[in-house]
Amino acid sequence: MSQGPVPPRPLTASEERNWALAAHIGSLVAAWFAMGFLCPLVIWLIHRDRSEFIRRHSLESLNFQISLLIYSAVAVILSVVTFGLGMFVVIPVGVVVAIAALVFIILATLAAADGRDYRYPLTIRLVR
């Protein structure tokens, strides 16, 4: 007689930290394909009900990546609307934002490794 689906085993603290790390570091790998939001999204969808720690980190990373995507789209639109003149502002600001994003991702990854929470600055929290 079947008793229904077996619930997944609880994750260890080490597994939780590893998945939280992957939510931040994975966005760097996916960013090469302009899909930085993909890795934290997948981790959030898979583990959000199994670990509150992973849910918080993957959700924070997902919202940060979506925010970066929105900011990039706005920059491209501004450049097009100004017939390319906006590129004189967008390119230098884009370089600064890219470096800042890398620093924030590293800080978030270190926080996850230490078992701490991290909040990205200037993040639009669209997904809750």
Going by C-alpha positions, the residue among 49, 43, 46 that lies closest to residue 20 is 43
Going by C-alpha positions, the residue among 24, 109, 36 that lies closest to residue 72 is 36
Going by C-alpha positions, the residue among 71, 52, 64, 73 that lies closest to residue 28 is 64
- What is the distance between the terminal CA atoms of the chain, rounded to a whole angstrom? 39
* pLDDT of 57 higher than 90: yes
Structure confidence by residue, pLDDT tens digits, 80-121: 898 888 888 889 999 999 999 999 999 999 999 999 999 999
| Tokens coding 97 | 């934002």
92 vs 34, more confident:
92
The residue extents of the domains of the chain are 13-113
Under the banding of pLDDT at 50, 70 and 90, the label for residue 66 is very high
pLDDT of res. 33 = 66
